[in-house]
Amino acid sequence: MARTQGSHSGITGPRVRAAALQLFAQHGYAAVSMRQIAREVGVQAGALYNYTPDKQSLLFDLMQTHMTELLAAREHSPRGATPTEALEHFTRLHLRFHSERPDEVFIAYMELRNLTPENFAKIEELRRSYEDGLETILRAGVNSRDFEVNDPKIAAMAVIAMLTGVNTWFREGGRLSLTEVEQIYWDMVRKAVGA
């Protein structure tokens, strides 16, 4: 099913990114070769360089796109009238967004060390921005006495770590539905911050 020369598919670009995403998530960036990605797409290795300047950019683009979409999803999601409501929205959005993108999440957490220092700094800034969003909600809740949180910065990290951990075991069609998982985790998060 090898693609023939000269064919203007117009969809090879997305297919390259999709193949890289899946392979990086499964085997790790360093363990995946450009030839493997090319084989998955049905093309020779050289053809990949019509769509990415190099392997590093392929990784960076995947991570940047993921983080940007995460932040965009936050902006387009309801704010919540109270800190408790805002925290519930954050929790549910995080679970939903991450469960829909297991490969992206895996890469975003596992492949940071394979970014060049410059690329790493850019991704870290996006991540910090996301964490700050949660921290802001927690601080607001502490001020309004809705929450009982000792250290909002650490609580934000703890909550995100807990929520992201879902991706290590959750599979659509398993014992629990996403809705049930959301409820269970929102319960634990709410209690953990004393709301």
Partner DNA sequence: CAGTTATCTGAACATGCGTTCGTTTAAAAC
Partner DNA sequence: GTTTTAAACGAACGCATGTTCAGATAACTG
Q: How far is the CB of 58 from DNA (least distance, A)?
A: 8
| 116-137 per-residue burial string, b: 16 or more CB within 10 A, e: under 16 | eeebeeebeebbeebeeebbeb
Distance between CA atoms of residues 40 and 18, nearest Å: 10
80: left (phi over 0), alpha (psi -120 to 50) or beta: left
Q: Tell me which residues in 23-52 interact with DNA (CB under 7 A).
A: 32-36, 38, 42-50
With CB cut-offs between 5 and 8 Å by kind, which of a second copy, DNA, none does residue 164 bind?
A: a second copy
Instruction: For residue 22, state whether it binds DNA (rule: CB under 7 A).
Output: no
Instruction: For residue 76, state whether it binds a second copy (rule: CB under 8 A).
Output: no
Q: What angle do CA 34, 40, 41 make, to 5 degrees?
A: 90
Interacting residues with a second copy (CB under 8 A) = 26-28, 30-31, 110, 113-114, 148, 150-151, 154-155, 157-162, 164-166, 168-169, 176, 181, 183-185, 187-189, 191-194
Interacting residues with DNA (CB under 7 A) = 2-10, 12, 32-36, 38, 42-50, 53-56
